């Protein structure tokens, strides 16, 4: 990914996104999402999609800042296939040139909190301290777990190192334990995944941040509904 040597934080986050891309390449196979590739290519945007026999869609998106007043963004979602007992993984970072203004990561459960992934996340974050935890709005508390990482104002140093370490650890666990814990139950998981998507679309920051990138309202609606959080 393109690097701006004037802002070490953005360079570090780009390197992190690259490392996650390589891990997804090792766990899934890429596919072309025609809903994106036909009409949704915008300057500075990068969208990559993967899947496998357990995962319907793994999506990693980055938006590169145009200048020092812009924001760097990364968005990741991993949606299991219908009937597969695997939490939805969500991971987002929004960063200015000197600090991460907001980051959110969760294993959103499909049925209760007793899945091994949720138990692991609860253990992984135990004892971690953050300078600025973020409170979740009602739309978010309905779909995210009690262990969700929701933080802001992360600057270079110990807290940034801790943040990258624990989120990297969680991604590694999610990918490495899939064969063991992503069981096919046949239960109807589609309504829960649709609720996750519909609630995400209630986030006003989502819509404002995409419009701030200079695209039209029509393109924003198509991107949100057809690429980010499509309901089935």
The CATH number given to 8-185 is 3.40.1500.20
d(Cα 162, Cα 149) in Å, to the nearest integer?
12
Comparing CA positions, the residue from 109, 107, 24 lying closest to residue 61 is 24
d(Cα 4, Cα 193) in Å, to the nearest integer?
37
Is residue 73 within a helix (H) or strand (E), and if so which, with residue range? strand 72-80
Do 69 and 95 meet the contact criterion of CB atoms below 8 Å apart? no
pLDDT tens sequence for the chain (232 residues): 444 447 899 999 999 999 999 999 999 999 998 777 666 677 888 999 999 999 999 999 999 988 888 889 999 999 999 999 999 999 999 999 999 999 999 999 987 768 999 999 999 999 999 999 999 999 999 999 999 999 999 998 999 999 999 999 999 999 999 999 988 888 899 999 999 999 999 999 899 888 877 788 998 998 999 999 999 8
Do 105 and 167 meet the contact criterion of CB atoms below 8 Å apart? yes
3 state SS of 100: strand
């Amino acid at each position: 990914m393109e690097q701006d040597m004037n802002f070490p934080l953005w360079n570090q986050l780009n390197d992190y996104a690259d490392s996650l891309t390589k891990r997804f390449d090792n766990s899934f196979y890429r596919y072309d999402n025609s809903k994106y590739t036909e009409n949704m290519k915008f300057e500075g945007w990068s969208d990559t999609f993967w899947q496998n026999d357990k995962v319907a869609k793994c999506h990693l998106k980055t938006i590169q800042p145009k200048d020092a007043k812009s924001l760097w963004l990364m968005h990741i979602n991993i949606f299991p296939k219908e009937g597969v007992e695997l939490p939805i993984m969500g991971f987002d970072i929004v960063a200015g040139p000197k600090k991460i203004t907001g980051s959110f990561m969760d294993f959103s459960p499909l049925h209760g909190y007793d899945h091994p992934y949720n138990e692991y996340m609860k253990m992984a974050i135990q004892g971690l301290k953050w300078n600025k935890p973020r409170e979740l709005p009602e739309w978010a508390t309905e779909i995210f777990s009690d262990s969700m990482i929701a933080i802001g104002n992360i600057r270079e140093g110990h807290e940034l190192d801790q943040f990258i370490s624990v989120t990297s650890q969680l991604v590694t666990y999610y990918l490495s334990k899939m064969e063991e814990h992503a069981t096919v139950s046949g239960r109807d998981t589609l309504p829960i995944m649709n609720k996750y998507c519909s609630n995400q679309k209630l986030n006003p920051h989502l819509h404002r941040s995409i419009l701030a990138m200079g695209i039209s309202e029509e393109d924003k609606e198509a991107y949100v509904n057809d690429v980010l959080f499509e309901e089935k």
